[in-house]
Amino acid sequence: MKTGTMQDWPLNVWKLIDHAAINHGSREIVSLTCEGQEVRTSWRQVQGRAKQVAEALRKMGIRQGDRVATLAWNTHRHIESWYGISGMGGVAHTVNPRLFPEQIAYIANHAEDRVLFLDPTFVPLVEKLAQSLKTVEHFVILTSREHMPKEASVNFLCYEELLAGEDADAPWTVVEETAPSGLCYTSGTTGNPKGVQYSHRANVLHAMAANMGDVLDIRSQSVVLPVVPMYHANAWGVPYAAAAAGAKLVLCGPNFDPPTIANMIRKENVTLTLAVPTVWLGMLQHLEATSGDLGALKRVVIGGSAAPRAMIEAFEEKYGVDVCHAWGMTEMTPLGTLGSLSAEAAELPRAKQIDLKCKQGRAIFGVELKLVDDEGRELPRDGVAFGRLLVRGPWIVASYFKGDGGQILDADGWFDTGDVATIDPAGYMQITDRSKDVIKSGGEWISSIEIENLAIGCPGVAEAAVIGVAHPKWDERPLLIIIRKEGAAVSGAEILKYLEGKIAKWWMPDAVEFVDSIPHTATGKIQKTALREQFSGYKLAA
C-alpha cells in the first residue's frame, strides 16, 4: 500500500476557529476599538461573525483565491474579517498602514485586492488613495452605522450593516490545504515590497508548533496580548495559535502607548505579551517613571529586532518576567527560533542564562537552520563561526507572490534569510547582523547589533544605532549614533569608556554622534539605509 490508513483532514485555517468555538466558546476576546470602546466578545461570537463575513464576501462575488485586504489595528473585527476571508476561500492580505501611501497603493494593486476592510482611523488615507487603488471594488469600514463618516468622497460600506442578516452558521468553503489563505508583503528597505502568500497548511502547522511548551507555550489558561500588529506577519501567528489553544486574547486596537498597554496587562491578567524591542524600551521607561508593575505577566516575547541585554535584565530582575527572544521573518510565517532555556541551560548560573537569552534561540520543530560562508560551504555550529543563515521547512516561503525575485531557493531547497548568524553546539542561534548591515573592517566582520545592544546599557543612553562608514585603510569602521535619555548629558567618551572591555578593541566605534531621532521602518526596525544616507560622506578623524 502506497499510503497510510489515516484520514485526509485538510489543514484549513477555519478549523482553528471552529475548534475554539466548540471547545473554548466562551473564552474572551477583549478589544480596545478605534471608537474608544472596550468590547468583550468570545471565540464563539468571533466564529459566527467570521461566517457572516464569509457570506457577505460570497455575495459580493469574491471567489476562491481572490485577495481581500485589511488596513486595520488588532481588534475583534479585524480577526473576524481575517478568518472570514480565508474561510470562504479568499486570501487575507493584511496591509501595513505604516508604509508610505505610495507603497500601500503599489502593494494593493500588485495584490489585485478586490475588497478593502479598513478601520475608521484610515478613512482620510483611503479617501486620498482610492483613485489609485485600481482593483478595489468595495471599501468596508470596520464599524457600526453611528461611527460611519457623515460625508465622504468614497462610497464606504458599513461592516456591521454588511454582516447583519447574514447566516452565522453558514458553511466554510473547503479548499485544499495547500491553497492560499493569507498574504503579507515584506517591508523591503530597497526596491518594491515582495508578497509572501501563506497556505492554509503552513498557517495551521505554524499555529500547532507555536503552542509547544518551548515555543510560545499558549494554553487555554493563557491570556495573550499581541502588541505586534496583525499586519506584521499575522501578529506572529498569535491569533491562529490562540484559537488552537482556546486562550483569551487582549487586543489594544490603535493604542501602542505604554500606559494603555500596561493597564491592559494588569487589568486583564495578561500572562504572555509579544512585541518588538522599541515598544518595550518605551514600556520600561514608563514603568520606571511611574513605579508601575506588570501584574500577572509571566512571559514577554521579543522579536523583530534584537533585544538588548539591559532590556532582558530589567524585565527579569525588576519585574520578575521571563523574557524570550523570538526570531523569524515574514517569509517564515514568521517563527523560526525561540529562546526558551534547554534542560542544561536551566541548571546554569543566572548570568550565563542571560547570556543565552541574548541569543535568538533554538530552532522550532519544523524549521531547519544551516550556516554557510560566501561560497556556500557549511560552517560549524561552534558559536564562533558566523555566516549566512539558511532555513528550510513547511512554513517557509518557496517563492514570492507572482514569482517576484525569481528562484529564491537553492538546489537543496534552502532559503537565504539575509541574516548573518552563529549557532552554538547547544543549537542557540545568534543574529550578528543583516548581511547588508554587517561592518566590513580590514577583511573581518563587525556586528553592528552587538555594539548597539551593549551601548543601550550605558547610563544616559536611550537608543543606539551603529553603521559602517568608509575608511581609507580599513574599508569601513563603525560609527555609533546615540539618542540620549531625557535630561542626560552622557558624552561620547563616556560611552566608549563603557564599551571598553565588553567588545574586542578593533570593534570599538571610531566616533560617536548624537541625534534627536533614529529612523525606523514600518515594522519598528532601525532603518540603516536612511542612517547611511544621513551620514554619507561622514569623515572620521584621522
Chain contacts with ligand AMP (rule: CB under 6 A):
186-187, 233, 303-306, 325-327, 329-330, 334, 360, 417-419, 431, 434, 523
Among 472, 449, 448, smallest CA distance to 541 is for 472
186 is catalytic: yes
Kindly tell me which of 47 and 417 has the beta carbon lying closer to ligand AMP: 417
Kindly tell me which of 41 and 187 has the beta carbon lying closer to ligand AMP: 187
Residue 526: all three cell numbers together:
532601525
Long-range contacts of the stretch 412-418 (C-beta < 8 A, 24+) = 414/370, 414/390, 415/331, 415/390, 415/391, 416/388, 416/389, 416/390, 417/329, 417/331, 417/332, 417/336, 417/388, 417/389, 417/390, 417/391, 418/388
Give the helix/strand (H/E) hosting 371: strand 368-372
Kindly tell me which of 330 and 441 has the beta carbon lying closer to ligand AMP: 330
C-alpha distances in Å from residue 78, one per residue of 29, 86, 122, 222? 12, 13, 14, 21
Kindly tell me which of 79 and 429 has the beta carbon lying closer to ligand AMP: 429
Query: Of 173, 186, 417, 521, which is the active-site residue?
Result: 186
267 is catalytic: no
- The span from the CA of 304 to the CA of 483, in Å, is 21
Among 307, 254, 266, 317, smallest CA distance to 290 is for 266
Query: Of 80, 177, 268, 331, which is the active-site residue?
Result: 331
Cis link prior to 334 (omega < 30° from 0)? yes
Kindly tell me which of 273 and 360 has the beta carbon lying closer to ligand AMP: 360
331 is catalytic: yes
Kindly tell me which of 48 and 361 has the beta carbon lying closer to ligand AMP: 361
Kindly tell me which of 381 and 525 has the beta carbon lying closer to ligand AMP: 525
368 is catalytic: no
- The answer to whether residues 85 and 222 touch, using CB atoms and an 8 Å cutoff, is no
Query: Of 134, 402, 440, 497, which is the active-site residue?
Result: 440
Strands 511-514 and 475-484 come out as parallel
CB of 99 to ligand AMP, least distance (A): 12
How many residues appear in the chain? 542
- The answer to whether residues 324 and 302 touch, using CB atoms and an 8 Å cutoff, is yes
- The answer to whether residues 143 and 36 touch, using CB atoms and an 8 Å cutoff, is no
Place of cell 585603510: 473
Query: Of 160, 298, 445, 513, which is the active-site residue?
Result: 445
Give the helix/strand (H/E) hosting 241: helix 238-245
CB of 174 to ligand AMP, least distance (A): 31
CB of 59 to ligand AMP, least distance (A): 35
CB of 336 to ligand AMP, least distance (A): 8
CA 288 to chain centre: 26
Return phi, psi of residue 375, to 5°. -90, 5
CB of 259 to ligand AMP, least distance (A): 26
Residue 442: all three cell numbers together:
580590514
| Residues catalogued as catalytic | 186, 331, 440, 445
